[in-house]
Amino acid sequence: MSRASLIVNALWVQLGWWGCVLGAQNAWWLLAVAAGLLAHLSFCPQPRAELRAVMRVGLCGMLLDWSLGVLGLFGFGQSALPLWLALLWLVFATSLRHSLAWAVRPVWRGALLGMIGGPLAYCAGAPLAGVALPLGIVGTALILAPLWALWLPLALRLADPH
């Protein structure tokens, strides 16, 4: 994959993150994110493999956040898993075979990135999206750090099981 493609993917993931988080308050952003997901798939050299990877990781991530919500780490209000968060998992999954592929080996790269980036993304997005953090930012981050140190390497493997 070319350097330009990696940069475009990284920019897409950042824009998608913002679109999903802002979409918690204004659903029009979610339409733009859905269009971005379709565009991503249409430009992939192997769209079927990419779709399988995105769905595999996305569904596992949705299950993870749903479980954390049920356990009380997050408060999503009336929804068990809001649409914006489900879309965010799909957006995140589009990075794993592209701009985050460098983190697959050695495993410590993915673990370190997950340990730092996972909690940062949640703690930055929660106030913007209206997600309650009953344990506070520090308590939530302390739980998410080891969880994401395990989850990101696993997600990278799920995205490209070869």
pLDDT above 90 coverage of the chain, percent: 95
- 12's CB contacts (< 8 A; 6+ apart) are 36, 40, 91, 94
3-class SS at 75? strand
pLDDT above 90: residue 39: yes
pLDDT above 90: residue 68: yes
- State which amino acid sits at residue 122: Y
- State which amino acid sits at residue 56: R
Q: What are phi and psi of 135, to 5 degrees?
A: -90, 5
For residues 91 and 36, the answer to whether their CB atoms sit within 8 Å is yes
Reported pTM: 0.96
Number of domains composing the chain:
1
- State which amino acid sits at residue 132: A
CA atoms within 13 A on the CB side of 68: 22
Residue 104: name the closest of 142, 136, 65, 57 by CA: 57
For residues 32 and 19, the answer to whether their CB atoms sit within 8 Å is yes
Q: What does the pLDDT look like over 73-114, one tens digit per residue?
A: 999 998 999 999 999 999 999 999 999 999 999 999 999 999
For residue 125, what are the domain limits? Answer: 3-159
